[in-house]
């Protein structure tokens, strides 16, 4: 059917409108697309460039150089040394067993080393380098480099590793570092990313652990270009990390070395403090151990040997060891009685060798008794009965108050691990912990440092420093190297006349012929010391043992003998240092601990080996022999100078 002209005209108009609409839509879409392309190329170019680079650039952390630990004179106690090591990448190695076998022919690799490398490779992604061996010599690392074509995936590297140049001297104070463990990570709310670097090491004990945040520093970064599977193609840039802060200790490395050597062969501890500012000059616990063993990965055999040693070398006895103070506590009881007003110190008490209290007989160490003694002679001769009497007059509450004032029973805030607080018992303490009331016999035992009373060698040194100065001396282990002068210390408000009597008793303990430490006196002018011996009972000799003929401590097994203690300050007229010594199961304080205390005191006052002229003339031949033997084991001054930072 033929359409009319009108129908044809209407059809053309409709088609034109549709064409215009479609063309407009196409033009709008094209315009929007062009605008978007322009926006992406010009305005968002930087954003898309970064997104693209994140697909081909990896940011890696670089471990920072750990801060040094130094003694008061700048001697390095914990430093860093170059460490030649060999790493391997699993995806480049191919046949891992073959490569490790070839590597074992070039450098010393044990089966444990190889097995550990295998475990680390399986634990990490194939392209992550795993350390196979470290602390290699230049010759060993050179052999690996020369045989590189036969060792695919193996790369020799140089890094830094922790090193303790003085070895055992400061192991208990400085501590050691070790690899980050899962337990370490779990203990942190937000672990530092650097801790996830394979085999990264952190402080495990001592100052290394307690000052970890200061010593660690901040990690650096390395930008590397990687391929699609994550393999490094090239380094783009590197920003070195911020080294850790150096930590300066109050310890004197030379005195520390002498003190530890003087304790050789004993399970013992010695503390030396500056009485004016609380600086700890020596903190020696013997026997010690080489912390470098832990840094390098201690063997099971070596660790078992340390762990099973009866002398407990892994324990820092200076702050962890808690011992009955024995007669070194008698100054506390004396001052408690004076402050309570139950004695003027000049009256005498008769000692027949024992005292009967509440149906029990308490013995004096001298079975025949001391006769009539006053406060000074009771301290010098260490008469137990005198202090039994004083304890009955003043009571445990006064004794506890004085003990607290003199610094016992506190856990001092030092940057080392496992600092113990000791035990300054009270009536409430016994009721809570023993579910029993305080008894008269408990007070009697406490008056001579037995029973429930427990102290650490550090606390005994603090007590002695406070007696010497009448100030609330606080121990200090870390110091600012720019700091000058002494701490401002609170006064203990002990009456001068009380302290004069107590100090006179300590002076006669060492310098009077009847004193218990007379054989350990110092005769050099200006270096005379005042001190107090102590013997704390560990086990009493049983009736069966007495019937078997065992009468003396020397006949008992070592671990059942009494502990030997000695505290002193020197010089007695112008005190500079306080010393405490505890010899575990050493027997008597006068025979085992006092000679050690004297030698360490002289070393501190003379800044080196004690002069022979400071000893009584009859002892000098023996002392000369002992000092000559010790001289061979001590660090030479020039060696310490070389290790200064």
Per-residue pLDDT tens for 351-410? 999 999 988 999 999 999 999 999 999 999 999 999 999 999 999 999 999 999 999 999
Residue 99 predicted with pLDDT over 70: yes
Residue 610: closest CA among 146, 222, 119, 261: 261
Task: Indicate the pLDDT class of residue 237, thresholds 50, 70 and 90.
Answer: confident
Per-residue pLDDT tens for 210-229? 999 999 999 888 777 766 54
Per-residue pLDDT tens for 584-616? 999 999 999 999 999 999 999 999 999 999 999
Is residue 259 within 8 Å of 277, Cβ to Cβ?
no
Give the count of beta carbons closer than 10 Å to the beta carbon of residue 366. 15
Instruction: Give helix then strand counts, H and E, for the chain.
Output: 24, 19
- Rounded to two decimals, the pTM is 0.85
327 flagged as catalytic = yes
Give the count of beta carbons closer than 10 Å to the beta carbon of residue 390. 24
pLDDT of residue 49: 57
DSSP string of 6-41, one letter each residue: HHHHHHHHHHHHHHHHHHHHHHHHHHHHHHHHHIII
**Which residue ranges form the domains of the chain, and what is each CATH number?**
83-164 (3.30.1390.10)
Cα end-to-end distance, the chain, whole Å: 112
At 388, list the tokens. Answer: 């039994």
**Which residues in 275-348 belong to E strands, given as ranges?**
280-286
Is residue 214 within 8 Å of 247, Cβ to Cβ?
yes
pLDDT of residue 329: 98
Does the N-terminal peptide bond of residue 571 adopt cis geometry, omega within 30 degrees of 0? yes
Catalytic residue among 327, 403, 520, 590: 327
Per-residue pLDDT tens for 308-364? 999 999 999 999 999 999 999 999 999 999 999 999 999 999 999 999 998 899 999
pLDDT of residue 375: 97
Per-residue pLDDT tens for 511-555? 999 999 999 999 999 999 999 999 998 876 655 656 566 666 777
The residues, ordered by sequence, that sit 6+ positions from 606 with a Cβ below 8 Å of its Cβ are: 527, 614
State the Cα–Cα distance between residues 375 and 387, nearest whole angstrom: 9
Is residue 168 within 8 Å of 290, Cβ to Cβ?
yes
Q: Is 490 exposed, middle or buried (0-12, 13-18, 19+ CB in 10 A)?
A: exposed
């Amino acid at each position: 059917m033929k359409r009319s002209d009108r129908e044809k005209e209407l059809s053309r108009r409709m088609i034109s409108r549709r064409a215009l609409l479609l063309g407009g839509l196409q033009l709008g879409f094209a315009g929007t697309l062009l605008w978007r392309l322009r926006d992406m190329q010009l305005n968002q170019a930087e954003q898309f460039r970064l997104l693209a680079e994140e697909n081909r650039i990896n940011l890696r952390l670089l471990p920072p150089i750990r801060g040094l630990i130094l003694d008061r004179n700048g001697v390095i106690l914990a430093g860093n040394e170059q460490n030649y090591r060999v790493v391997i990448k699993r995806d480049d190695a191919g046949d891992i067993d073959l490569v490790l076998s070839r590597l074992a022919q070039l450098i010393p690799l044990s089966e444990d080393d190889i097995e550990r490398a295998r475990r680390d490779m399986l634990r990490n992604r194939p392209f992550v380098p795993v350390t196979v061996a470290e602390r290699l010599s230049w010759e060993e690392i050179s052999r690996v480099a020369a045989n590189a074509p036969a060792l695919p995936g193996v790369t020799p590297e140089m890094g830094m590793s922790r090193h303790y140049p003085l070895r055992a001297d400061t192991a208990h104070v400085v501590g050691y570092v070790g690899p980050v463990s899962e337990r370490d990570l779990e203990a942190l709310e937000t672990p530092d990313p650097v801790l996830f670097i394979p085999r990264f090491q952190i402080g495990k004990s001592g100052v290394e652990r307690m000052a970890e945040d200061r010593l660690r520093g901040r990690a650096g970064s390395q930008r590397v270009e990687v391929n699609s599977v994550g393999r490094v193609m090239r380094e783009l840039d590197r920003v070195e990390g911020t080294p850790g802060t150096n930590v300066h200790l109050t310890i004197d490395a030379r005195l520390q070395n002498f003190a530890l050597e003087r304790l050789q062969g004993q399970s013992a501890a010695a503390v030396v403090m500056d009485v004016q500012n609380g600086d700890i000059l020596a903190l020696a616990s013997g026997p010690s151990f080489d912390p470098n063993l832990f840094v390098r990965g201690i063997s099971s055999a070596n660790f078992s040997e340390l762990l099973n040693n009866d002398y407990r070398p892994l324990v820092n006895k200076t702050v962890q060891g808690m011992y009955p103070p024995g007669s070194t506590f008698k100054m506390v009881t004396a001052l408690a009685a004076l402050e309570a007003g139950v004695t003027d110190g000049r009256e005498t008490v008769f000692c027949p060798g024992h005292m009967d209290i509440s149906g029990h007989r308490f013995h004096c160490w001298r079975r025949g008794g001391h006769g009539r003694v006053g406060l000074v002679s009771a301290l010098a001769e260490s008469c137990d009965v005198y202090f039994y009497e004083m304890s009955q007059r003043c009571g445990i509450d006064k004794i506890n108050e004085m003990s607290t004032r003199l610094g016992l029973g506190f856990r001092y805030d030092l940057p080392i691990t496992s600092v113990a607080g000791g035990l300054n018992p009270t009536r409430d303490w016994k009721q809570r912990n023993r579910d029993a009331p305080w008894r008269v016999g408990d007070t009697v035992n406490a008056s001579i440092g037995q029973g429930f009373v427990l102290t650490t060698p550090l606390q005994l040194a603090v007590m002695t420093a406070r007696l010497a100065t009448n100030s609330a001396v606080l121990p200090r282990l870390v110091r600012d190297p720019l700091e000058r002068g002494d701490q401002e210390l609170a006064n203990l408000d002990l009456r001068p006349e009380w302290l004069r009597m107590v100090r006179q008793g300590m002076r006669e303990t060492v310098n009077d012929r009847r004193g218990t430490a007379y054989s350990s006196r110092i005769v050099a002018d200006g270096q005379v010391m005042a001190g107090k011996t102590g013997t704390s009972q560990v086990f009493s000799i049983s009736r069966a043992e007495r019937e078997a003929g065992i009468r003396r401590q020397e006949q008992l097994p070592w671990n059942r003998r009494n502990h030997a203690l000695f505290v002193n300050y020197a010089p007695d007229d112008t005190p500079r240092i306080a010393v405490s010594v505890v010899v575990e199961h050493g027997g008597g304080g006068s025979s085992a601990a006092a000679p050690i205390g004297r030698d360490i005191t002289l070393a501190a006052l003379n800044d080196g080996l004690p002069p022979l002229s400071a000893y009584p003339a009859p002892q000098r031949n023996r002392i000369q022999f002992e000092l000559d033997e010790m001289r061979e084991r001590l660090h030479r001054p020039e060696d310490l100078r070389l290790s200064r930072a």
